[in-house]
C-alpha cells in the first residue's frame, strides 16, 4: 500500500535511464541514490510532492529487466508491479542518447495491458537537437511522448504540468496527521533481517528481502496502523563502520540510515540472534543513544536459536542469558527493552511493536516539578555525595524538555559530581516513573546561575 491516500505517480524504466535523477529533481532534493551504475535503486521509494496546487506521491522504482543474471531481478520486477498496481499515472522513462532498446520494447509490452495514463518521458534531451531523437519512441505505441533532461531540469515542469492534468482528485491527509504518527527507524548491520521485519510488520512485500548483504540501499517509509496507532516504519540500508564503506553507494547508504534515525521517534535496533551480539551492533546502538532516540533492541532470527513453541513471549533460559549478555556488553542501552522476534516465522512481531509504542510514549513523558524535586532530595539524602572533602548540595531541579526527557539540576558545584553519581540519580528517577525505552539527559548547573536568572526576572 502507498504511504498515504494521495494520488500516485510511478516512474518506471529499464536500468540507468535516469529514474532516480528525475525522482530527485521532482521532489527537489537528493532522496534516491544516484550513480552511473545500473541497478542502484532496488526498492521503491515514495515522496510527497505538490505541483499546481495538487499533492501526490511520486514513486521511484528499480530498473526493470526481463532477462538478467542478478538474483534480485525478479524481486525488483515484483516491486515495480506493486507500484504499478497503486499508480494513477505512469511515467515511462527512456534514454534519448541510447535510443529505443529491446528492453524498452519489453517493458512497453508489459505496460500495454494496464488501464492507467502513461506518459513516455525521454530523458537526457539536454538540447533542442535531441528533442528530435525522442520521436522514435512513438513507435512503442504507448501514446504521449515528452523530451526532458532530469539532470538540467529541462522540460520537467512541462512534464509535471501534464501529470497534474491527468491526476484524479485526492483525499488529502489532515494537516496534523503526519505529526500523530509514531516514526520507527529499523536500523542494524547489513543482513540482520531489517527488510524481512518491515515486510512482516506491513503484511506485504514492501522491501526486497535477500541474503545478500547491502540489498536495501535506500530508506523506505511504510505507514501501517497497529492497535489504533498510526506508525511510520523506516527500513534503512545496513549501517557499517565508515572505514568499511566501499565506494560512494555504501557511503550514501550510511548517510541515509543516519538521516532516517535523525527524523525518527524510536530506533528499533535489530540484532541477529543466531550470530550473537557484535561490535557493529554496539556501534549502531550507541549511535541511536547519541541521537537521543527512544530505543528498542529487537533480537531477530530467534527461530534459528530456539524453535518456536507457540509462546513467543515466554522467557526461556536462552532468552534470559542472551538478554543478560546484551545488558553486560551494552551498558549505554540498559534502559532499552528487548524483544525477541522471527520475521520468517512471524513470531514476536506484535510484542515488538507494542514495546516500540510504549517507548515512544515514555520518550515524551513529563514529570511534575514537585515530584522530581522530592525524588532527588530523597536520593541525595539517602546517599550523600562528597569529593575531595567537599559535599554536594542539591537545591532545585526541573524538566526542561521531552523526547528525550532532560532534567536540569542546580547544585553548589557541578564539577564535583562523578558520572557514576549522575547514573545513580537517573536510576532513582527511573525507579519512580515509566521511562523504559528512553534515554535521559541530565545537566548539572551552578546554583549561582539560577540565582542570577531569578535576579534578572526581578
Number of domains in the chain: 3
Strand order in the sheet with 145-147: 45-51, 54-60, 8-12, 89-95, 118-123, 145-147
Is 373 among the domain residues?
Answer: yes
Is 3 among the domain residues?
Answer: no
Beta bridge partners of 404: none
Whether 64 and 91 share a structural domain:
yes
Whether 434 and 356 share a structural domain:
no
Beta bridge partners of 56: 49
Is 1 among the domain residues?
Answer: no
Which residues, 6+ apart, have CB-to-CB distance to 272 below 8 Å? Answer: 189, 191, 192, 193, 300, 301
User: Quick one: pLDDT at residue 59?
Assistant: 83
Whether 34 and 146 share a structural domain:
yes
Is 390 among the domain residues?
Answer: yes
Per-residue burial over 228-248, b if 16 or more Cβ lie within 10 Å, else e, is ebebbbbbbbbbbeeeebeee
Which residues, 6+ apart, have CB-to-CB distance to 115 below 8 Å? Answer: none
Beta bridge partners of 79: none
- pTM score over 0.95: no
CATH of the domain at 378: 3.30.300.20
Last residue of a domain, one of 166, 195, 219: 166
Whether 136 and 203 share a structural domain:
no
Last residue of a domain, one of 363, 380, 400: 363
**What is the residue range of 441's domain?**
369-457
Whether 13 and 98 share a structural domain:
yes
**Contact at 8 Å (CB) between 273 and 322?**
yes
How far apart, in Å, do the first and last CA atoms of the chain sit?
58
Is 246 among the domain residues?
Answer: yes
CB atoms within 10 A of CB 108: 19
Q: Encode the chain (458 residues) as per-residue pLDDT tens digits.
A: 334 467 889 888 888 899 888 998 998 755 443 434 444 334 457 788 888 888 888 888 765 544 545 443 454 455 556 667 778 899 999 999 999 998 888 888 878 877 889 999 999 998 888 888 888 999 999 888 999 999 999 999 999 999 999 988 755 444 444 457 899 999 888 889 988 998 899 887 655 455 544 445 455 678 888 998 889 888 775 555 555 544 444 444 555 567 778 778 999 999 999 999 998 888 889 889 998 999 999 999 999 999 877 665 667 899 999 999 999 999 989 999 999 999 999 999 999 999 999 999 999 999 999 999 999 999 999 999 998 889 999 999 999 999 999 999 999 999 999 999 999 999 999 999 989 999 999 999 998 655 455 545 44
Whether 209 and 315 share a structural domain:
yes
Question: Could you tell me whether strands 182-188 and 220-226 are parallel, antiparallel, or unpaired per DSSP bridges?
Answer: unpaired
Amino acid at each position: 500500500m502507498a504511504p498515504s491516500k494521495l494520488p500516485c505517480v510511478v516512474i518506471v524504466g529499464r536500468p540507468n535511464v535516469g529514474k532516480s535523477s528525475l525522482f530527485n529533481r521532482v521532489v527537489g532534493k537528493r532522496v534516491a541514490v544516484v550513480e552511473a551504475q545500473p541497478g542502484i535503486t532496488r526498492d521503491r521509494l515514495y515522496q510527497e510532492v505538490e505541483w499546481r496546487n495538487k499533492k501526490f506521491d511520486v514513486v521511484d522504482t528499480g530498473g526493470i529487466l526481463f532477462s538478467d543474471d542478478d538474483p534480485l531481478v525478479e524481486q525488483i520486477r515484483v516491486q515495480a508491479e506493486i507500484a504499478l498496481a497503486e499508480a494513477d499515472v505512469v511515467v515511462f522513462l527512456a534514454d534519448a542518447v541510447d535510443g529505443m532498446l529491446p528492453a524498452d520494447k519489453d517493458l512497453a509490452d508489459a505496460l500495454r495491458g494496464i488501464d492507467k495514463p502513461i506518459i513516455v518521458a525521454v530523458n537526457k534531451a539536454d538540447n533542442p537537437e535531441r528533442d528530435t531523437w525522442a520521436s522514435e519512441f512513438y513507435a512503442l505505441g504507448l501514446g504521449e511522448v515528452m523530451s526532458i533532461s532530469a539532470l538540467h531540469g529541462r522540460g520537467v515542469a512541462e512534464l509535471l504540468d501534464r501529470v497534474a492534468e491527468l491526476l484524479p482528485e485526492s483525499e488529502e491527509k489532515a494537516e496534523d496527521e503526519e505529526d500523530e504518527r509514531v516514526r520507527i527507524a529499523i536500523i542494524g548491520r547489513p543482513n540482520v533481517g531489517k527488510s524481512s521485519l518491515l515486510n512482516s510488520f506491513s503484511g506485504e512485500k514492501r522491501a526486497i528481502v535477500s541474503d545478500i548483504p547491502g540489498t536495501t540501499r535506500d530508506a523506505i517509509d511504510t505507514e501501517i496502523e497497529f492497535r489504533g496507532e498510526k506508525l511510520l516504519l523506516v527500513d534503512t540500508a545496513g549501517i557499517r563502520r565508515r572505514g568499511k564503506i566501499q565506494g560512494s553507494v555504501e557511503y550514501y547508504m550510511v548517510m541515509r540510515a543516519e538521516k532516517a534515525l535523525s527524523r525518527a521517534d524510536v530506533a528499533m535496533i535489530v540484532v541477529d540472534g543466531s550470530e550473537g551480539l557484535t561490535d557493529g551492533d554496539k556501534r549502531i546502538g550507541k549511535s541511536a543513544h547519541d541521537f537521543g532516540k527512544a530505543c528498542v533492541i529487537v533480537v531477530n532470527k530467534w527461530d534459528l536459536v530456539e524453535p518456536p513453541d507457540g509462546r513467543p513471549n515466554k522467557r526461556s533460559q536462552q532468552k534470559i542469558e542472551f538478554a543478560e549478555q546484551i545488558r553486560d556488553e551494552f551498558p549505554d542501552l540498559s534502559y532499552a527493552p528487548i524483544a525477541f522476534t522471527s520475521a520468517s516465522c512471524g513470531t514476536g512481531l506484535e510484542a515488538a511493536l507494542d514495546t516500540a509504542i510504549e517507548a515512544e510514549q515514555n520518550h515524551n513523558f513529563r514529570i511534575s516539578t514537585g515530584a522530581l524535586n522530592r525524588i532527588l532530595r530523597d536520593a541525595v539524602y539517602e546517599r550523600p555525595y562528597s569529593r575531595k572533602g567537599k559535599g554536594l548540595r542539591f537545591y532545585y531541579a526541573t524538566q526542561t524538555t521531552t523526547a528525550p526527557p532532560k532534567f536540569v539540576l542546580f547544585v553548589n558545584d557541578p564539577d564535583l559530581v562523578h558520572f557514576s553519581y549522575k547514573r545513580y540519580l537517573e536510576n532513582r528517577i527511573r525507579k519512580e516513573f515509566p521511562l523504559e525505552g528512553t534515554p535521559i539527559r541530565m545537566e548539572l548547573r551552578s546554583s549561582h546561575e539560577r540565582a542570577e536568572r531569578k535576579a534578572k526576572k526581578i
